[in-house]
Amino acid sequence: MSALALISDLHSNLEAVEAVFQRLDALGVRDVACLGDVVGYGADPLPVARLVMQRCRWTIQGNHDWGLCHELDEFNPLARDALFYTRHALRPSLFRPGRRAVWEFLRNLPQRHEERGLLFCHGSPRDPVMEYVLKSDGFLEPEKMKDIFGRIDRPCFVGHTHWPGMHGPDFRFVQATDEQRVFRLQGPCIVNVGSVGQPRDGDPRAAFAVVDGDRVEIHRVAYDFRRTQAKILAAGLHHALAERLAKGK
């Protein structure tokens, strides 16, 4: 069985997405899947969504993808404003019929996927779109983690928090770093593949995972975030969405 690359939380960051696909091509990994949040925050929702449609064998729904067609009361102001921008950029019309395929793709994404004896969702096994499995939950929310782990009998891959790493059966989170890039899948665990388009673990490089048998490796790729920042500002999105890309926070 060939290696499977998992990308997540692209957030309309075209430069990061292109850099990740270039790295995957260099690695010879052709089988790619997306764990959601194709859009949101960034200035390039249309080309990013089209790349995902072309290059990913399957994609599941993230909360920002869900937000395209639903009420945004639970989103913070920055996320909400960016989703209004995304709706305007993607909504099909008589004069923009080419948007319809992208709109329908994002609107109809499934909430979870199973294959290779693995489970995939954006958030968590009990709330696949919205719930965060935080790195601190192992010691601050042990009952939450006990409930979540009680719902899985296999490794589960998620995104959503933008922090790559793994929760093992003891609920402890091991963060992925340059020194700790490889994890082994042994029974129920939750692996976060990190974020391509908006990392928040203090490392501004795009993150993704490659699964090969029971081996998972987290990769990091530098990209031209300054170009992405300029696009965000030119689009009239909040300056904080540009500034955080340089810090990875």
Residue 128 token pair: 């696949």
Task: Round to whole Å and give the CA distance between 170 and 142.
Answer: 10
Residue 85 neighbours by CB under 8 Å, 6+ apart: 43, 235, 236, 237
Q: What is the pLDDT of residue 39?
A: 98
Number of domains in the chain: 1
Strand stretches in the chain, DSSP E: 4-7, 31-34, 58-59, 112-115, 118-121, 155-158, 165-167, 173-175, 182-184, 189-192, 206-212, 215-221
Q: What is the mean pLDDT of residues 32-36?
A: 98
Q: What is the mean pLDDT of residues 7-33?
A: 98
Length of the chain counted residue by residue:
249
Structural domain boundaries enclosing 76: 4-247
Confidence band, pLDDT 50/70/90 cuts, at residue 74: confident
Residue 94 token pair: 């008589």
Q: 22-27: long-range contacts (C-beta < 8 A, 24 or more apart)? A: 22/221, 23/219, 23/221, 24/208, 27/210, 27/219
Buried/exposed 117-132: b ≥16 CB within 10 Å, e otherwise: ebbbbbbbbeebbebb
Q: State yes or no: pLDDT of 234 exceeds 90.
A: yes
Paired sense of beta strands 31-34 and 58-59, if any: parallel
Cα maximum dimension of the chain: 55
Closest CA to 36 of 5, 76, 63: 63
Q: Give me the CATH number covering residue 242.
A: 3.60.21.10
Q: State yes or no: pLDDT of 193 exceeds 90.
A: yes
Return the half-sphere exposure (C-beta side, CA atoms, 13 A cut-off) of residue 233.
12
Q: What is the pLDDT of residue 62?
A: 98
Residue 178 token pair: 């340059």
The 10s digit of each residue's pLDDT in 127-177 is 999 999 999 999 999 999 999 999 999 999 999 999 999 999 999 999 999
Comparing 46 with 74, the larger pLDDT belongs to 46
Q: What is the pLDDT of residue 96?
A: 83
The 10s digit of each residue's pLDDT in 79-117 is 999 999 999 999 988 888 889 999 999 999 999 999 999
Whole-prediction pTM value?
0.96
Q: What is the pLDDT of residue 6?
A: 98
Q: What is the pLDDT of residue 186?
A: 86
Task: Round to whole Å and give the CA distance between 74 and 105.
Answer: 23
The 10s digit of each residue's pLDDT in 208-232 is 999 999 999 999 999 999 999 999 9
The 10s digit of each residue's pLDDT in 35-62 is 999 999 999 999 999 999 999 999 999 9
